[in-house]
A = this chain, B = another copy of it.
Amino acid sequence: MFGERGCILTTEPEGQHGGEPLRAKRSRRKRRSVTVSTVAKAAGVSRAAVSFAYNAPEQISADTRSRILQVAETLGYSPDPIARLLNTRHTDAVGLLMVEPIEAAFADPFTTAFVRGMGRMCDQHGLALTLLPPRLGSSVRTIQTAIVDGIITLGLTPESPFLSALKRRHLPLVVVDGAPSTTWHSVLVDDEGGAYAAAAHLAALGHRHVAIIAFDSPPEDPHRYSRDVTYVTAQRLAGYHRGLAIAGERTEIEQIESHSDIASGQAAMSQLLERAGTTPTAVLAMSDAIALGAMRACDQHGLRVPNDISIIGFDNIPEAALATPPLTTVSQPIAEKATRAMRLMLQLMESPDPLPFEQIMLPTTLIIRESTAPPKGDLRHAGK
């Protein structure tokens, strides 16, 4: 019925709306056709009166008001939100500053979960939510031009030039998964503790050769790309090493990097498995998305989880419990992280004065499911 590319029907625009351009060419100056003045004139009142009709009904008689609204209706007028912005100074939108493109970010269900959490608060307070990806590679320009009432950053380590650009905007700012600080509001989870618990679990099971699949650095800041590492990554790495260390010096640790999505995790794990040398008996993945991908790679390579290899994720996204086998992971309260950040944001938006900087740290917990077991041939646990 339809060709490969779908079918397109085209209709010429009709008379009524056909005459006026829907939007002027980017470069050309455009005048609005009908403004407050038009309406005021037509209704025989002052411009203030029509403004009052919309924003301060109590300042005006009900009759006048309805007459004005009536005239506006027939003229097809509604107040230009951009113009009013200059006075009211609030956009009724909060921005989520991301470290990577939207498409890449939403490849990890973590992002969806976080946005849902923010969304709940936005919905309650009648706010829009603006996704702010790096504009053409850099976040600086994004920060400078974002039309929002406040910014929540996710995964951004607020180093210069970001922090200075952010501060310059004099906008409420909450830094999630950035770094703790005494000069901005931060929301974090106990990444180190969670990673520790995961690694200690592996060590206790008897694993002595484990691979860590860490986050690759976000490409968002070309200067930092694959040079150093975000705070969260560093914390988890520290936790992993501390946990593995309880088995003594004997543990062999290798580390590779992956973007946090299933396909990348799968690719990274495949590469690891195809590498010369012995295969690790367990892997610590920095996200469930990566872990899920790693499980697929194992499957493809004929390795059974957890019999041949153990895998632990991080996040506890809904998909983790549903995987086959169900994934052992470090649970973090994703939605709560988002709502706490939003709560802070709402306070900042209301408050005329600066608030004491809060550092919120939420707990993480290891959830042991079925993707982890003692290493094959480990006699100490053979009975288990």
Chain A interface residues (CB < 8 Å from chain B): 1-4, 6-14, 17-18, 20-26, 28, 30, 76-79, 81-83, 85-86, 89-93, 95, 101-103, 105-107, 109, 112, 115-120, 122-123, 126, 128-133, 135-136, 141-142, 144-147, 149-150, 165, 167-173, 180, 182-183, 190, 193, 319, 324, 336, 340, 348-363
Contact = CB atoms under 8 A, between A and B. Distances in A.
Q: Find the residue from A6, A77, A109, A112 having the highest chain B CB count within 10 A.
A: A6
A182 to B, nearest CB: 4
Nearest to A90: B26
A221 to B, nearest CB: 16
A130 B128 contact: yes
18 contacts: A1-B190, A10-B358, A11-B358, A17-B167, A17-B183, A21-B353, A22-B351, A23-B351, A23-B352, A77-B168, A85-B85, A93-B147, A106-B115, A106-B119, A123-B133, A128-B130, A129-B130, A129-B133
Copies of this chain per assembly: 2
> What are the nearest 8 A-B pairs in CB distance?
A102-B119, A25-B352, A101-B123, A6-B362, A2-B363, A9-B359, A11-B182, A129-B131
Contacts of A324: 324
A76 B130 CA distance: 25
B363 A92 contact: no
A128 B106 contact: no
Contact of A359 (B11, B26, B149): B11
B357 A10 contact: yes
Contacts of A349: 23, 26
Nearest to A133: B123
A219 to B, nearest CB: 12
A361 B4 CA distance: 11
A106 B102 contact: no
A122 B144 contact: no
A8 B361 contact: yes
A28 to B, nearest CB: 6
B8 A360 contact: yes
Contacts of A14: 182-183
A7 to B, nearest CB: 5
B357 A11 contact: yes
Contacts of A350: 25-26
A36 to B, nearest CB: 14
Contact of A6 (B76, B173, B361): B361
